[in-house]
Amino acid sequence: MQARYFSISAYPKGLPDKALFELQSHALPELAVDEIRIRNTWLSVDPYMRGRMSGAETYIAPFELGKPLDGAAIGEVIESRHTRFKVGDKVRHMAGWRDLAQLKGDVVEPLPDIEVPDQAYLGVLGMPGMTAWAGLNRIANLREGDNVLVSAASGAVGSLAVQLAKAKGGKVVGIAGAADKLAWLEQHDIGAVSYKGKDTQQLSDDLKHACPEGFDVYYENVGGTCLEAALNNLKVGARIAICGLISRYNDETQAQGPRNLANLLIKRARMQGFIIFDHWTEYPHFLEEVGPQVAKGEIDYEETVVEGLESTPDAFLQLFEGGNRGKMLVRL
Amino acid sequence: MQARYFSISAYPKGLPDKALFELQSHALPELAVDEIRIRNTWLSVDPYMRGRMSGAETYIAPFELGKPLDGAAIGEVIESRHTRFKVGDKVRHMAGWRDLAQLKGDVVEPLPDIEVPDQAYLGVLGMPGMTAWAGLNRIANLREGDNVLVSAASGAVGSLAVQLAKAKGGKVVGIAGAADKLAWLEQHDIGAVSYKGKDTQQLSDDLKHACPEGFDVYYENVGGTCLEAALNNLKVGARIAICGLISRYNDETQAQGPRNLANLLIKRARMQGFIIFDHWTEYPHFLEEVGPQVAKGEIDYEETVVEGLESTPDAFLQLFEGGNRGKMLVRL
């Protein structure tokens, strides 16, 4: 059986060119004992994958040139030599960027039993959702009544972060770009501030207008101007959770950092980076808390879906151009 | 009785000019009930005072133009209408930058009863010492065996920080400039790295050489190149306590921030600013722990002493030129 997959031919500088991604195919070997074969139905593309294309070891190994890329995916078991799985089972695993995956059963999870569409386990109830939850609760120590600022607030992570924060009763403000994203925030009674065309001073002023008393928590996905503007609007004792710095991922040289870091001192504030894999043991806890709210429709989540394996690189590259509202997904 | 004091005539930009500081005098009024009069014997000058000369409200009110400056001082009671104090008592208070102080007794503390020279209560057992202790223990959560990096490591704060860290058994490295400061560090078995004439890459390489496995804790007094080099040498889960950013205090424009802040993310590290006044309720605890060690000579502390009230501005300005080893003091 032939499987098709994407690989990259070189480690890109700057925004990757689409031609970097090569669609290849290979014949799958016979299933070995304990292996299963999966037909993928949904693939995830995520900003963190850009880091794996740098060739450098960070907190995760770089992608190997010429080998299948990977990432989260959902599929259906079509063949099994593992006692835990039978044909037809729906599963989640890390062999994305391909149509067919062949894996040891012990690195594959059955989908949890909650009444949500399968692809929710790649977004609101998957890694991005868990990232929003852990960043707020475990890194930023979100408390009742906290005023919370979220950048990339309509993205896969940010769109859950604003809703979880809102449930704590404080003022919540989201930074986004496109008009439809700002409108989505406003529909959910989240203060919506555009970053488009603004320098730090203008964005700072707009955040101050949206929340004059300042923020207890800043959930950071972007970096750059957003971070500087946030640092200008902290309350004393504020906590900043750094989930990502997407504005910097394609920089060819090291961008300048925030000029107003002294605000950490003046406001006795804390800034902490985190990697969701460190917190994955808490996934069942997250699922128990947030899963039912999603099933009942109390939490809104958006998806941006592109069709077909061939479109996976486009989906990935759109992440850096603000092309997604909510979770960016590829449907096979 | 005439008292002499310093005031400033304007809020300076950049490094203050000595002419900014005006020595003035005024007649002290008769003592009111509950007041005491103090002849100051030691005055403290500290980097944080630069912030009070900016005219902006930060975490502490700006100095008022034309009014006596203030800061920590030690003196002897020469007249008292307060039941708690009698003539001859040695006290600590915040009416520095002057020869005679007249204050309500309730803002004055008797010197603690530990066998150390009076001026130690302005340095190793005063605000700078408490700052070193609280930054390590309460902000950076110093643990047994931690590798610790300290910038301005021979200063009033840094020189205690390196010794407290060393006692925890890990590798301790200090950044300093002058040869005598580096020698002082080496005498105490602290790794000594000079920042002089180095860019971030060179300083990073030297820190890596001094402690290849990286640092669990960075005690930050300086900012700029030191911070960038430290961010390049963090262990996973590192904690950065930001006590001060002296390299930036005289900047006329906002300096660029660290270009490698993404290391907070990669290393899941935490950076937290703090102001010692928030932790002052722990001063008795600090004194109980560190006081006996200083009295027994187990902790070494250095002083740089200038003579006479007139020299106070010089003493202050030398802080920004690396002119002090240990605590900078003015003896009256």
CA atoms within 13 Å, Cβ hemisphere of A324? 30
Return the structure tokens found at B179.
């040869």
Residue A61's pLDDT band, with cuts at 50, 70 and 90, is confident
From B225, B216, B298, select the one nearest B260 (Cα to Cα): B225
Average pLDDT of the residues in A297-320: 96
Assess A320–B contact: CB distance below 8 Å, yes or no: no
Across the interface, whether the CB atoms of A273 and B260 are under 8 A apart is answered no
Residue at A252: amino acid letter: E
Across the interface, whether the CB atoms of A264 and B256 are under 8 A apart is answered no
Residue A322's pLDDT band, with cuts at 50, 70 and 90, is confident
Residue of A nearest to B277 (CA): A268
With contact defined as beta carbons under 8 Å apart, do B2 and B26 qualify?
Answer: yes
Residues 6 or more apart whose Cβ sits within 8 Å of residue B306: B312, B314, B315, B318, B328, B329, B330, B331
Residue at B265: amino acid letter: L
Across the interface, whether the CB atoms of B275 and A268 are under 8 A apart is answered yes
pLDDT of res. A54:
87
How far away is chain B from the Cα of A328, in angstroms, using its nearest Cα?
Answer: 23
Return the structure tokens found at A11.
């480690």
Neighbours of A89 (CB within 10 A): 18
| Burial of A253: CB neighbours in 10 Å, binned 0-12, 13-18, 19+ | exposed
Assess B62–A contact: CB distance below 8 Å, yes or no: no
Place of tokens 């207890």: A216
From B304, B320, B295, B233, select the one nearest B42 (Cα to Cα): B304
**Phi, psi dihedrals of residue A286, rounded to the nearest 5°:** -60, -45
From A203, A196, A206, A124, select the one nearest A163 (Cα to Cα): A124
> Residue B259: which of A244, A255, A278 has the nearest Cβ?
A255
Question: Is residue A255 pLDDT above 90, yes or no?
Answer: no
Helix (H) or strand (E) holding B40: strand B35-44
Question: Is residue A249 pLDDT above 80, yes or no?
Answer: no
> Residue A271: which of B256, B262, B271 has the nearest Cβ?
B271
Give the Cα separation of A12 and B78 in Å (integer). Answer: 75
Chain centroid to CA B128: how far? Answer: 4
Residue A245's pLDDT band, with cuts at 50, 70 and 90, is confident
CA atoms within 13 Å, Cβ hemisphere of A258? 23
Give the Cα separation of B177 and B131 in Å (integer). Answer: 21
For residue B53, give the DSSP letter. Answer: T
Across the interface, whether the CB atoms of A254 and B259 are under 8 A apart is answered yes
A93-111 in b/e burial notation, b at 16+ Cβ within 10 A? bebbbbbbbbbebeebeeb
Assess A255–B contact: CB distance below 8 Å, yes or no: yes
- Digit-coded pLDDT (tens) for A92-106: 999 999 999 999 999
Return the structure tokens found at B189.
């078995």
With contact defined as beta carbons under 8 Å apart, do B159 and B180 qualify?
Answer: no
Give the Cα separation of B233 and B246 in Å (integer). Answer: 21
3-state helix, strand, coil in chain B (%, to 5): 30, 25, 40
Neighbours of B314 (CB within 10 A): 15
| Burial of A18: CB neighbours in 10 Å, binned 0-12, 13-18, 19+ | exposed
Residue of A nearest to B238 (CA): A272
Across the interface, whether the CB atoms of A270 and B266 are under 8 A apart is answered no
From B130, B113, B114, select the one nearest B122 (Cα to Cα): B130
For chain A, give the longest Cα–Cα distance: 64
Across the interface, whether the CB atoms of A274 and B268 are under 8 A apart is answered yes
Place of tokens 């002119």: B323
How far away is chain B from the Cα of A27, in angstroms, using its nearest Cα?
Answer: 36
Give the Cα separation of A97 and B326 in Å (integer). Answer: 59
Chain A residues within 8 A of B257 when measuring between CB atoms: 256-261
Give the Cα separation of A207 and A153 in Å (integer). Answer: 14
Give the Cα separation of A60 and B175 in Å (integer). Answer: 31
Assess A222–B contact: CB distance below 8 Å, yes or no: no
Assess B252–A contact: CB distance below 8 Å, yes or no: no
Question: Is residue A254 pLDDT above 80, yes or no?
Answer: no
Q: Which residues of chain B have pLDDT under 50?
A: none
pLDDT of res. A58:
77
pLDDT of res. A59:
78
pTM of the model: 0.92
Least confident of A49-58, A81-90, A271-280, B155-164: A49-58
> Residue B270: which of A245, A255, A270 has the nearest Cβ?
A270
Across the interface, whether the CB atoms of B258 and A261 are under 8 A apart is answered yes
Assess B254–A contact: CB distance below 8 Å, yes or no: yes
Interface test with A, best of B54, B249, B270, B279 (most A CBs within 10 A): B270
Three-class SS of chain A: CEEEEEEECCCCCCCCCHHHEEEEEEECCCCCCCEEEEEEEEEECCCCHHHHCCCCCCCCCCCCCCCCCCECEEEEEEEECCCCCCCCCEEEECECCECEEEEEHHHCEECCCCCCCHHHHHCCCCHHHHHHHHHHHHHCCCCCCCCEEEECCCECCHHHHHHHHHCCCCCEEEEECCHHHHHHHHHCCCEEEECCCCCHHHHHHHHHHHCCCCEEEEEECCCCHHHHHHHCCEEEEEEEEECCCHHHCCCCCCCCECCCCHHHHHCCCEEEECCHHHHHHHHHHHHHHHHHHHHCCCCCCCEEEEECHHHHHHHHHHHHHCCCCEEEEEEC
How far away is chain A from the Cα of B134, in angstroms, using its nearest Cα?
Answer: 13
pLDDT of res. A325:
86
Assess B60–A contact: CB distance below 8 Å, yes or no: no
Place of tokens 């205090």: B249
With contact defined as beta carbons under 8 Å apart, do A277 and B266 qualify?
Answer: no
> Residue B259: which of A257, A273, A274 has the nearest Cβ?
A257
Interface test with A, best of B60, B204, B261, B276 (most A CBs within 10 A): B261
Return the structure tokens found at B285.
């605890």
Residue of B nearest to A278 (CA): B268
* Window 276-295 of A, Cβ < 8 Å to B: 278
> Residue B245: which of A58, A243, A265 has the nearest Cβ?
A265
Assess A61–B contact: CB distance below 8 Å, yes or no: no
How far away is chain B from the Cα of A260, in angstroms, using its nearest Cα?
Answer: 7
Assess A11–B contact: CB distance below 8 Å, yes or no: no
Helix (H) or strand (E) holding B26: strand B21-27
Question: What ipTM is given for this predicted complex?
Answer: 0.90
Return the structure tokens found at B174.
């200090």
From B203, B204, B166, select the one nearest B187 (Cα to Cα): B166
With contact defined as beta carbons under 8 Å apart, do A124 and A149 qualify?
Answer: no
